[in-house]
Amino acid sequence: MQSATALIRKSILALLIAGSAGLMLPGCENKPASADKGDLTSLKGLTDDSEDRQGDVQDFTDLSVLTDAFENQRGNIQVRQTGTIIKTLPDDTNGSRHQRFIVRLSSGQSVLIAHNIDLAPRVEGIREGSMISFSGEYEWNNKGGVIHWTHHDPQSQHEGGWLAYNGRKYE
């Protein structure tokens, strides 16, 4: 028998994936390239290291992990990465409210970020073309995947995530 937390988590995930089903946008197709680690030195200015919750920049997930997860339809993978915001989307207001936007990784893969704004503050001033760093859980879908759990867990049963944008951390 599944716990209530597991059932809620699966329900939220199903809603997020269903909500992203129509997100194929011109120019946003996923074209997995041979992933590399990208220029990690450029990440230092994107996050607030003073809290030391993010850890060392070297702690960022190798892009090949996300490429492999997409190509092999795997999910439930905790990741930390950075990318360029390529599209902002309307909030998902069914159930828990989520701020949504699409991020292109340096590998060429795009992912939907679904940030729960009932549990964490909305990312302020978000703009297409700007960089964002994130820590959350990757779930596969045929559009590139969804990153969720970009917030703290009020029940302390799941690793907390965050978004870092313009020198501010949202968790």
* pLDDT of amino acid 30: 44
pTM, whole model, 2 decimals?
0.67
- Is the per-residue pLDDT at 162 higher than 50? yes
From start to end of the chain, where are the E strands?
A: 77-92, 98-104, 110-116, 131-139, 146-148, 162-165, 168-170
46 vs 24, 27, 67, 156, CA distance in Å?
27, 25, 23, 26
Question: What pLDDT is stored for residue 124 in this prediction?
Answer: 94
pLDDT of 6 above 50 = no
- The pLDDT of residue 60 is 80
Q: Which of 98, 101, 64 has the alpha carbon at shortest distance from 81?
A: 64
CA-based angle 116:68:60, to the nearest 5?
A: 55
Share of the chain above pLDDT 90, in %: 57
Question: What are the structural domains of the chain?
Answer: 4-22+31-170 (2.40.50.140)
d(CA 117, CA 38): 30
pLDDT, position 156? 83
Provide mean pLDDT across the span 140-168: 92
For the cut 50, the answer to whether the pLDDT of residue 119 exceeds it is: yes
Please name every residue paired with 80 in a beta bridge, in sequence order, or none if there are none: 135
Residues 45-93 pLDDT 10s: 443 333 333 333 335 888 899 999 999 999 999 999 999 999 999 999 9
Least confident residue range of 35-49, 57-71, 97-111, 125-139: 35-49
Query: How much is the mean pLDDT over the chain?
Result: 75
Contact predicate 12/95, CB 8 Å: yes
- Band (pLDDT 50/70/90 cuts) for residue 153 is confident
